[in-house]
Amino acid sequence: MRFLKTVARLAFVAYLAVASFPVAAQHVAVPPIVILAPVPEYDPVRFEAAQMIAEAWRELGLTVEVEAMDFVALIDRVQNAQDFDAAILGWSGRVDRLDPQFFLGLLDSRQAGSGGTNLSGYANPEYDALFQAQSRALDPELRRPAVHAAQALAARDVPIAVIAHRDTVVAHSTTSFAGLAAAPGDGLYTEWNLMRAQPLTARTRLRIGGHQRPDGLNPLASTTSWSWRWMRLYYDYLVRLSPDAEPQLWAAERIDFVSEATLEVTLREGLIFHDGMPVTATDVAFSFNQPKLVGFSYLGAYLGALLAVEAVDARTVRITLKYPSASFAVTALSQIPILPSHIWRHIENPAALENGDVPLVGSGPFRFASIDPGWHMSLDRFEDHFAASDIMLTGVDFLFYFNGTATLSALLGGEVDLTAGTLDPWHVPTVEAASGVGIMTAPDIGFNHIAYNTRRTNFALAGFRRALTHAIDRDRIVDVLLDGHAATRGSLIAPVNRYWHNPDIEYIAFDMAAARAELELAGFAWDDAGQLTMPVQ
């Protein structure tokens, strides 16, 4: 009997040993992490930020490397293939994004599929419910609590870590064109500037310089702001947003709300496409229905509330929503380009068109003149457009350069009239000391961020993401790489967007000790070599 009790006692001690020290038996090394970033020629700030972040993550016991990629290839890999661990990217702060719908939609689970804007694949029913609630609240005062709550939840779960809201700093010639104004996110490269520019010399073609090449010019496939800024010049929209985000009737002559969820849009008389065919309600209905038919998630993000669009007669379109939408007029009506259905309806797989096969026909204030991919794109004023008489430019040329330094040299040398993208901080003193050029600055409602792919086992854990975010020294990134020209304590909604920004959300500050504590709380540990290990899932 004593023997049996001894065996039982030893067995119990062995059980306690296993139960008390499960780490070694149930842990595996955290897989190596690759941070994707743009090549330094495209964006040296984001490339260097990736290096700084990688260095800090290595201090946590992780194996980390940075892979620099061509920007278009990077977007394809993250947004379409979804094959990444973490990626440093940015969302531009176009004027339509002053409404919170777009930025909050970046974490809507419906946008987590290939091509969608939910790059991290974040899926949280609580967040989705808040997103839907703010979408449907027509009264801004009733909408704001849901907008604030969604920001707080995103800050807690941190599927994407906002690094900084970078100021838009752009340069332009002061002797070639007047009437320009910098807009949040877009700088000087906006359709309003190109429709209002006033020549100061005999030259009436404005030249834009930049190294940011569009990912394509297919309106049913392109997902970067560099494509859409150009396309907005030769496509028309029912509504265009003013620089202050006020909806301005454009191709629409009037918009009537039949009910809270039904709109009737009357088109202007005499609208025609660049090939001479009339713009009709059928074209508008086709344009709104096509993104959903081809599964184009980027434009689909604007159409979540849409139930049906139908042509009532040649100039009247009836839009029926699933529910009242607070942002539909600001987002969808101003973001869906009007396509010529007589061309596009005959294309079997429009989303798969190669660049050379895309029909570049719109009805906008400028029409396509020529394109030499990688070198230049040119548009001419469309004389039959209703706004043509108010446009002083006869055309617009976009000239491509290797990097920001080459673009700035082109501006200083008189080859271009304005820069498409924001200046690198070290270029600002050069512009300030030069004659005949000036700088304009606007706060950005967009942001640079690092997206964590929650489809990966380790990144699926909020504690792991929080720990990595604690290891990002955002203040150092801004001070060293951006010379202080950015705000760091923002969220999905920038602090400058005061009405919608939640100033009380949690801010995960740089703190390596807190990072380690988060990892321990989430069940991570370190082996004898200091390598981070994680529980077997």
Q: Tens digits of per-residue pLDDT, 137-167?
A: 989 999 999 999 999 999 999 999 999 999 8
Band of residue 87 on the pLDDT scale cut at 50, 70, 90: very high
CB 398 within 8 A of CB 217: no
Number of residues that make up the chain: 537
Residue 446 and residue 14: Cα distance in Å, rounded? 57
Q: What is the pLDDT of residue 359?
A: 96
pLDDT digits over 398-431, tens only?
999 999 999 999 999 999 999 998 999 999 999 9
CB 181 within 8 A of CB 198: no
Lowest mean pLDDT among 45-49, 132-136, 486-490: 486-490
pLDDT at residue 21 tops 70: no
Residue 461 makes CB contacts below 8 A (sequence gap 6+) with 522, 534
Residue 194 and residue 202: Cα distance in Å, rounded? 17
* In a shared domain, residues 162 and 43: yes
pLDDT at residue 123 tops 60: yes
Domain boundary among 303, 331, 364: 364
Q: What is the pLDDT of residue 242?
A: 86
Instruction: Quote the number of domains for the chain.
Output: 2
Range of the domain at 84: 25-166+445-535
pLDDT at residue 8 tops 50: no
pLDDT at residue 197 tops 80: yes
Question: How many CA atoms does the CB half-sphere of 104 hold within 13 Å?
Answer: 28
CB 280 within 8 A of CB 90: no
Question: How does strand 525-526 pair with strand 376-381?
Answer: unpaired
Lowest mean pLDDT among 156-160, 212-216, 315-319: 212-216
- 434 in any annotated domain: no
Domain boundary among 327, 342, 364: 364
* In a shared domain, residues 334 and 241: yes
* In a shared domain, residues 155 and 280: no
Domain boundary among 322, 340, 364: 364
Q: What is the pLDDT of residue 172?
A: 98
The neighbouring-strand residues paired with 259 are: 262
Residue 300 and residue 294: Cα distance in Å, rounded? 10
3-state SS record for 310-377: EEEECCEEEEEECCCCCCCCCCHHHHCCCCCHHHHCCCCCHHHCCHHHCCCCCCCCEEEEEEECCCEE
CB 469 within 8 A of CB 508: yes
Q: What's the CATH code of the domain at 108?
A: 3.10.105
CB 185 within 8 A of CB 444: yes
Band of residue 25 on the pLDDT scale cut at 50, 70, 90: very low
* In a shared domain, residues 159 and 241: no
Between the alpha carbon of residue 216 and those of residues 72, 185, 196, 401, 527, the distances in Å are 9, 20, 26, 17, 47
pLDDT at residue 51 tops 50: yes
pLDDT at residue 19 tops 60: no
* In a shared domain, residues 52 and 139: yes
Residue 463 makes CB contacts below 8 A (sequence gap 6+) with 518, 519, 521, 522, 523, 524
Q: What is the pLDDT of residue 22?
A: 43
| Residue closest to 42 by CA, chosen among 348, 388, 424 | 424
Q: What is the pLDDT of residue 2?
A: 41
pLDDT at residue 65 tops 80: yes
* In a shared domain, residues 243 and 160: no
Percentage of the chain surpassing pLDDT 90?
79
Ranges of beta strands (E only) in 48-109 are: 64-69, 86-91
Question: How many CA atoms does the CB half-sphere of 301 hold within 13 Å?
Answer: 28
pLDDT at residue 12 tops 60: no
Band of residue 13 on the pLDDT scale cut at 50, 70, 90: very low
Q: What is the pLDDT of residue 186?
A: 85
Interval 232-246 mean pLDDT: 91
* In a shared domain, residues 53 and 158: yes
Which long-range contacts does 514-523 make (Cβ < 8 Å, 24+ apart)? Answer: 514/470, 515/60, 515/467, 515/468, 515/470, 515/471, 516/60, 516/467, 518/463, 518/464, 518/466, 518/467, 518/470, 519/60, 519/463, 519/464, 519/467, 521/463, 522/461, 522/462, 522/463, 522/464, 522/467, 523/463
* In a shared domain, residues 32 and 162: yes
- With tokens 């200046």, the residue in question is 423
* In a shared domain, residues 341 and 253: yes
Class of residue 25 by CB neighbours under 10 A (exposed 0-12, middle 13-18, buried 19+): exposed
The amino acid at residue 92 is: S
Residue 34 and residue 503: Cα distance in Å, rounded? 32
In 158-271, which ranges are continuous DSSP H helix? 191-196, 225-234
pLDDT digits over 438-494, tens only?
999 888 889 999 999 999 999 999 999 999 999 999 999 999 999 998 888 889 999
pLDDT at residue 113 tops 60: yes
3-state SS record for 279-291: CCHHHHHHHHHHH
Between the alpha carbon of residue 476 and those of residues 101, 429, 450, 484, the distances in Å are 30, 21, 16, 9
- 419 in any annotated domain: no
pLDDT at residue 18 tops 50: no
- 308 in any annotated domain: yes
Average pLDDT of every residue of the chain:
92
- 112 in any annotated domain: yes
Band of residue 329 on the pLDDT scale cut at 50, 70, 90: confident
Interval 50-74 mean pLDDT: 97
Q: What is the pLDDT of residue 68?
A: 98
Between the alpha carbon of residue 108 and those of residues 44, 238, 515, the distances in Å are 30, 26, 27
- Which H or E run contains 506? none
Residue 472 and residue 454: Cα distance in Å, rounded? 18
Ranges of beta strands (E only) in 56-194 are: 64-69, 86-91, 160-166, 168-173, 177-178
pTM for the full predicted model: 0.83
Residue 507 and residue 292: Cα distance in Å, rounded? 37
Percentage of the chain surpassing pLDDT 70?
95
**Under DSSP, is residue 210 helix (H, G, I), strand (E, B) or coil?**
strand
- 135 in any annotated domain: yes
- Output the six-digit token pair for 450: 């690092």
* In a shared domain, residues 242 and 360: yes
pLDDT at residue 374 tops 90: no
